[in-house]
Chains A and B, each alone.
Chain A
Amino acid sequence: MESLIYVYRASIRNSLKRSLKKPVTYIYLVLAGCYLTGMLFAMPEMITDMGLDNPKGLVVILSFFTLMTVPMNLLSYAKRRGLVFKNSDVQFVFTSPAAPKLVLLYGQIRQYIMGFVFSLLLAFAGVFWFHVSAWIMVAYFVLAFAVENVLEASMMVLIYGNEGDGEKTAKVIRWCVFGILGILVLFGLYLFYSENASFNIVSLFLNHPFLQMVPLAGWNIAFIRLLLLGPTALNVACTVLYCITAFVLGVLAWKMKCTGAYYEDAMSFAEDYTNVLEKSRKGEAVFLFGKKKKYRKADIVYKGSYAKAIFYRQLLEYKKNRFFIFSPFSLVCLGAGCAIAFFASRNDVDLYGIFVIPGVSAYIAVLFSGYPTKWEKELMNPYTYLIPDTAMKKLWYATLVEHIRAFVDGCLIAVPAGIFLGLNAFQILLCILIHVSIQANRLYLVVFVEAFLGKVLPMLFKRFTKMFLQMFFMGISIAAAVIGTLLINVEAGFVLAILMSGAGTLIAALGASVLFERMESIE
């Protein structure tokens, strides 16, 4: 374990040293300091306003977090994907003479440290914000941290390290967790229908004695209640069960034979994790959990050469996708369209109801500005630069599919919404075109910023710059729409907005086209 702690300590030390050499770290520190100071002053007031400034309030908050984390952690362990190992761990740790059970604990070390810090902060918050007596908070800090971690580490070792019928055990645990979650949902629904639907239901749910009887998560809540609110027959009984479970599982984990068969799953997860890390460094929104994408068989006829080939290749890739050019973003657009339609059907919409659609389009464009598109990936591909065609043509054909996707997504918002808002076909078409222009704007700005500021700004600042530029162009378009509407009519306002947004898009596109000249510019 000493060698593993050495890795962790040296990594943190080097990481700190490197960060302190970067000026941006100090900007982050100032921002974080301001945020924390703000929180420090705002939180007590917020807690008091919500009526949670007492031990019962703390219990409600802790119960909520327990319900959120315990089943999720168990599920991720049962899927053998809860621990994050890296490829370097595979090479240097898995092959070393370290005991595989210790390696599992090493995989959790970050969570233990975070848990320790969180518990420490909680102890102070408990005393100062929730008015719990200091000795009770100290007892909570020591006991809860110890028992919770023994229990969780034991579960993790037993699930990950089980080399007998580990898969069967994991499956049973998965179903048990689903069962517990099902019971909790049914209980929540029962309360929802039996009581008056209000915010109080949440408090009622989290304070209900039934909750304490739910194995593990509920027993954990009983343990918290015993420590913070004092004993009742129920919380004492459930706490005893909780501690016995922690002790028994701890002994079982200690005695269980583990030779490291889990390394195979951990290795495959390490590869996925590396890919996710790589993508997130490039600013893509990616998810670690979930099944690997499966692709269908598809073919395509290339009806053109040179840069056009990029378009057809992208189309082929989309045809291999299970949902073709549709993505979760399409669902968001459809949802937004249906929501506007629902709103319009229930309310009287005046003339300016037409502005709802572009407003929603702009809002979701900003909200989902991080979602990845295929064209950004073209810039990472050396073959793109080798195609004998002009940079502008490459840019156009690399983004054409995205414009088609934007048109389809625009239809998903504007058609249902437009019908219920009582718009005519031309107005609906204008709404779709506005959606396309907003998306085109986003499309080019993302890479424009990456090209010109990629090397200078860190990720967070790049995101802010992209968002700022996007909002800047949107602001100009909105101003144009207002002027056009006031001077002529709504349609003219929309056309003006499209023209202004188009001009912004063109500027960004021209800037972004430079990227197709040579790969060096994005490296």
Chain B
Amino acid sequence: MLEVRNLVKKYGKIVAVKDVGFSLENGTVGILLGPNGAGKSTIIKSIAGLLRFTGDVRIEGMPARDVNAKRVFAYVPEIPAMFEMLTVREHMNYVKQAYALDVTEEEIDALLERFELRDKQDKLGNELSKGMMQKVSICCALLIKPRVILFDEPMVGLDPMAIKELKNVIGELKSDGVTVLISTHMLEMVEELWDVMFVMEEGTIIGEYTKEDAKGKALDELFFGITGGEEQWRA
């Protein structure tokens, strides 16, 4: 479960996120939507413990910065960054050790196979393309077997096969009771995945819909309905 209460993030005098609050139950997929600069990534980075903020963020009831909370939490950033001199396999080994995971080599193989990285496992971090880095990033996050996972624009740079696989993975995470929060612009990519959608504008959540509220409406229809239509976006 993920709970965010009264989250405020300031950069000097600029308020990037204004008193944001929401919660996601176990087995729920939440989508953060909004234009560039709306504060989506700031929220994601705050939850991941990378930014200072005021307010309260809890993962499975524990403060997000608590070491125990971090043990059950995974984060896939928008721009993946690899250890330059570690191979793909060594990235997985590092994660295994850093989270004291009880993961077998076969499980690592299976994960690499699933994202077509098996033949790239001996490549160094600085030899990978952006798409491959994104795949490694996703594999490392999944290896943790998290209870809460954050994806920041996860589809960017992925090939169609990997996008399809990622969608399947998110579906499986959901069935396993994992809380998933995805920040994205690509509405059509998350159409069949979402349970709750949060629409952001200028650092605040201006609308919240559940799948039940949507009554079969498409995501973009709901999104533009809240934000004032495509004309306002173009303006």
Distance in angstroms between the alpha carbons of A270 and B195 in the assembled complex: 35
Cβ-defined partner of B50 (8 Å) among A4, A11, A14, A94: A94
B84–A97 touching, CB < 8 Å: no
Interface residues of A in 79-95 (CB under 8 A from B): 86-88, 90-95
Q: How far is the CA of A99 from the CA of B67 in the complex (A)?
A: 7
Known: A10-B86, A15-B85, A91-B77. A97 touches B50 (CB 8 A): no
Contact, CB under 8 Å: A88 / B81: yes
A13 to chain B, nearest CB (A): 8
B50 pairs with A6, CB closer than 8 A = no
Q: Report Cα–Cα, A322/B91, bound state, in Å.
A: 44
Find the residue from B49, B84, B85, B97 having the highest chain A CB count within 10 A. Answer: B85
Q: Which of A3, A88, A90 contacts B125 (CB 8 A)?
A: A88
Which of A177-185, A257-265, A413-421 lies at the interface with chain B? Answer: A257-265
What's the minimum C-beta distance from B159 to chain A, rounded to whole angstroms?
Answer: 21
Asked if A95 meets B82 with Cβ closer than 8 Å, knowing A3-B98, A6-B94, A6-B97, the reply is no
B118 at the interface (CB under 8 A from A): no
User: Chain B residues near A14 (CB, 8 Å)?
Assistant: 85-87, 90, 124
Q: For residue B179, which residues in chain A have a CB less than 8 angstroms away from its CB?
A: none
Check B85–A10 contact: CB distance below 8 A: yes
- Out of B50, B73, B140, name the residue touching A263 (CB < 8 Å): B50
In the complex the two chains form, is B50's CB within 8 Å of A88's CB? no
Number of interface residues of A (CB under 8 A): 30
Q: Is the CB of B50 within 8 A of A267?
A: yes
Cβ contact within 8 Å between B48 and A92: no
- With A7-B83, A11-B84, A260-B65 already in contact, the answer to whether A92 and B94 are too (CB < 8 A) is yes
Residues 66 to 96 of chain B near chain A (Cβ within 8 Å)? 66-68, 70-71, 73-75, 77, 79-87, 90-91, 93-95
Contact across chains for A96 and B99 when beta carbons are under 8 A apart? yes
Number of A-B residue pairs, CB cutoff 8 Å, is 90
- B137 near A: Cβ within 8 Å? yes
Q: Give CA–CA (A98, B98) in the complex, Å.
A: 7
- In the complex, which residues of chain B have a beta carbon less than 8 angstroms from the beta carbon of A15? 85
Q: Contact check, A3 vs B94: say whether CB atoms are below 8 A apart.
A: yes
Q: Which residues of A contact B51 (CB under 8 A)?
A: 263-264, 267
- Contact call A3/B97, Cβ cutoff below 8 A: yes
Contacts of B49 in A (CB 8 A): 94-95, 259-260, 263
- Cβ–Cβ < 8 Å partners of A7 in chain B: 83, 86, 94
Q: Cβ of B98 and Cβ of A97 under 8 Å apart?
A: yes
- How many Å from the CB of B224 to the closest CB on chain A? 33
B90 to chain A, nearest CB (A): 5
Q: Is A165 an interface residue (CB 8 A)?
A: no
Query: Are A91 and B80 in contact, with the CB atoms below 8 A?
Result: yes
Chain A, 1-32, CB within 8 A of any chain B CB: 2-4, 6-7, 10-12, 14-15, 18
| Interface SS of chain A | helix
C-alpha gap A95/B140 in the complex (Å)? 12
What is the 8 Å Cβ interface bit string for chain B, positions 32-51, against chain A (1 contact, 0 not)? 00000000000000001111
Tell me which of A7, A259, A261 has the highest count of chain B C-beta atoms within 10 A of its own C-beta: A7
How far apart sit A260 and B50, CA to CA, in the bound complex (Å)? 8
Which residue in A6, A12, A94, A97 is a CB contact (below 8 Å) of B99?
A97
**Contacting pair A92 B50 (CB below 8 A):** no
Contact A95 B75 (CB under 8 A): yes
CB-CB under 8 A from B124, the residues of chain A are: 14, 18
User: Which single member of B52, B66, B81, B85 contacts A90 (CB below 8 Å)?
Assistant: B81
A6, B87: Cα distance in complex, Å: 12
CB distance from B127 to the nearest CB of A (A): 10
A95 x B70 contact (CB < 8 A): yes
A3 to B90, CA, bound (A): 11
Known contacts A3-B97, A95-B49, A259-B65; decide if A88 and B83 are in contact (CB<8 Å). Answer: yes
* Bound-complex Cα distance A86 to B65 (A): 20
Complex: how many Å from CA A18 to CA B84? Answer: 12
Closest to A265 in B: B52
A264 x B86 contact (CB < 8 A): no
Closest to A95 in B: B75
A-chain residues with CB within 8 Å of residue B87 when the two chains form the complex:
14
CA distance A45 to B66 in the complex (A): 58
Question: Could you tell me the distance in whole angstroms from the C-beta of A262 to the nearest C-beta in chain B?
Answer: 9
In contact, A10 and B137 (Cβ under 8 angstroms): no
Given A14-B124, A97-B71, CB of A92 within 8 Å of CB of B90? no
Contact of A11 among B48, B80, B86 (CB under 8 A): B86
CB-CB < 8 A to B83: which residues of A? Answer: 7, 11, 86, 88, 92
A contact residues around B77 at 8 Å (CB): 90-91
Q: For B48, B86, B87, which residue has the most chain A Cβ atoms within 10 angstroms?
A: B86
CA distance A362 to B75 in the complex (A): 54
Decide: B52 and A92 in contact? CB cutoff 8 A: no
Give chain A's interface residues, CB within 8 Å of chain B.
Answer: 2-4, 6-7, 10-12, 14-15, 18, 86-88, 90-99, 259-261, 263-264, 267
Can you list 17 A-B pairs with a CB-CB distance of less than 8 A?
A4-B98, A6-B93, A6-B97, A10-B85, A10-B86, A10-B90, A15-B85, A91-B75, A91-B77, A91-B81, A92-B83, A92-B95, A93-B98, A94-B49, A95-B49, A263-B51, A267-B51
A sample of 4 more A-B contacts (CB under 8 A), given A88-B125, A98-B98, is: A4-B98, A6-B97, A7-B83, A95-B73
Closest 8 A-B residue pairs measured CB to CB?
A: A87-B81, A3-B98, A11-B85, A3-B97, A97-B70, A259-B65, A96-B98, A88-B83
